[in-house]
Amino acid sequence: MTKRNFVFLSILFAILSALLSSSLGAMHIQWEELLTLESIESKVFFEIRIPRILLGIFVGGSLAWSGALAQGLFRNPIVDPGLIGITAGCSLFASVAIVLGNSIPFLHSIWSVVIFSFVGGILSCLIIFFISKAKGRTEIESILLSGIAVNAICFSAIGILSYMASEAQLRNLSLWNMGSLGGSSWNVIQSFSIFYILPLIFSPLLSRQLNVLILGEKEASHLGISTEVLKTILIILIGISVGSCISIVGNMGFVGLAVPHIVRLVIGQDYRYLLYACYFLGGGLLCIADGICRIIIAPSEIPVGIVTALLGSPFFLSLIRKRKQIV
């Protein structure tokens, strides 16, 4: 399969996933009912399912795209954005908003968890970036070690907050950590849309530099790439993209790590195609996973993070096994 064809199949997969997901849910919707704008089916479809499907594609796509950037930055295919502290920062600030929200006046609004979590992700990313910078250079090893340290601090603080939390707050913390697209709305999509289209804007600008960076930093510098500027841009983009996603849907494992790895196993490391394929494959995977999580125990739903892992892991393992047989 050619790389261009795989990107086309990824786009097709995202579209088909969106169509399938639109038909899944506790309420069975007759398509002819959609023509009656005042019907309940019409309102459920246009006001709940469509925003949820769009959010699933945007978030899944952004997480997978950020994972591909992180793996390119570290030149390691088993890295995910969580290593540079964004996920831990988001989780810590979301935990503060959930547990201490009743005690802090400006954390009372419905948007407090989202905004506070987003700020936490960006802050932790910036802290790691400045800690790892020395003599005008940002060493990859320093970023990794700083990320491990900040992650440990954040998760210790989350442990303390979990110990302080009431039963209801503890349940909210657990649900947030397993991820959900239940908070989707047109308002959310409109507010965060600029972050969700970043991948499509920056992919063509970064692909050549990332392809050269695979050779190594010194080699990339000799070929005219400003590696310091490139690393700074990558960290900022990963921080904004992942921070905006995690703050809305909660922790969402697997997508950012496994989807880029799956794409790399199929079409190699050419970032001209890999970034686009990751975006649409990740978006389609999260979209269809969300559709499934709505019907397993309908009318309740299970956290979508569980379904993404169940859907993607067998396919991921089969690709690794197939790859070993080829090698």
- The 3-class SS string of the chain reads CCHHHHHHHHHHHHHHHHHHHHCCCCCCCCHHHHHCCCCHHHHHHHHHHHHHHHHHHHHHHHHHHHHHHHHHHHCCCCCCHHHHCHHHHHHHHHHHHHHHCCCCHHHCCCCHHHHHHHHHHHHHHHHHHHHCEECCEECHHHHHHHHHHHHHHHHHHHHHHHHHCCHHHHHHHHHHHHCCCCCCCHHHHHHHHHHHCHHHHHHHHHHHHHHHHCCCHHHHHHCCCCHHHHHHHHHHHHHHHHHHHHHHHCCCCCHHHHHHHHHHHHHCCCHHHHHHHHHHHHHHHHHHHHHHHCCCCCCCCCCHHHHHHHHHHHHHHHHHHHHHHHC
Distance of CA 304 to the CA centre of its chain: 12
The pLDDT of residue 86: 79
Contact 250, 68 (CB under 8 A): no
Distance CA(299)–CA(27), nearest Å, equals: 8
The pLDDT of residue 70: 85
Q: Which residues of the chain have pLDDT under 70?
A: 32-35, 37, 104-111, 136, 312, 315-316, 319-320, 322-327
Closest CA to 32 of 41, 43, 24, 23: 41
The pLDDT of residue 11: 94
The pLDDT of residue 322: 65
Contact 312, 259 (CB under 8 A): yes
Distance CA(247)–CA(244), nearest Å, equals: 5
Distance CA(243)–CA(250), nearest Å, equals: 10
Q: Would you mind telling me the total number of residues written for the chain in this entry?
A: 327
Structure tokens at 182: 């239940």
**Model confidence, pTM:** 0.87
Closest CA to 39 of 27, 51, 53: 27
Most distant pair of Cα atoms in the chain: their distance: 65
87-99: burial string, b at 16+ Cβ within 10 Å, e else: bbbbbbbbbbbbb
